[in-house]
Chains A and B, each alone.
Chain A
């Protein structure tokens, strides 16, 4: 017998324009994080992990 899942408190639709706007901001953050990790690799030989994934 499987447990029951938590119900959503409120199910709301995504407002496309607002979502695109916030996604653009987050994209910049992810690119910045990827750059930071790549620079770290060059300097210290650190693992790049999944960061390259965000590069355009």
Chain B
């Protein structure tokens, strides 16, 4: 059966792929559903069939047993914790061979960037607090009260609280955080100035 790939446009139809063992190069095929032409770079993994499943053999007398399943023979050691493990319990991550509990621990441990799945970019969130309301209403004057009393303090809090938090897997400078902090200070100062002016105006009115 010829190999096929999922249509990149509609993600539903199957587009015929070229023979990946014929050498590097591309093939073209049409999606039968959306009728769009796709250019396909196919690799041997597409047509090499399913990977043979690892098969652990039972442990014999005097042979090292797997740390997680003692009835099976151990064939390697986990690069994370050093436990002896059978092929069923071993998983590969790059050049490392890890047991499933180490793999789980690394995935859950947010400090290990090699396994990070998701980061909240607090500098972006802080910047959003002091700028998104402007996009929402279209006029600065109309949302100044919100920016001064809510958005500004929130952005300042986020900037201080998450100053040292990782800014994503790809390293970035503190530019966004600095802009957010500066804008938040401006908005807070403007709001305080407005309150001060109102208080002064009331005081001046009552005195006269």
A binds B: no
Interface residues of B, Cβ cutoff 8 Å to A:
none
Interface residues of A, Cβ cutoff 8 Å to B:
none
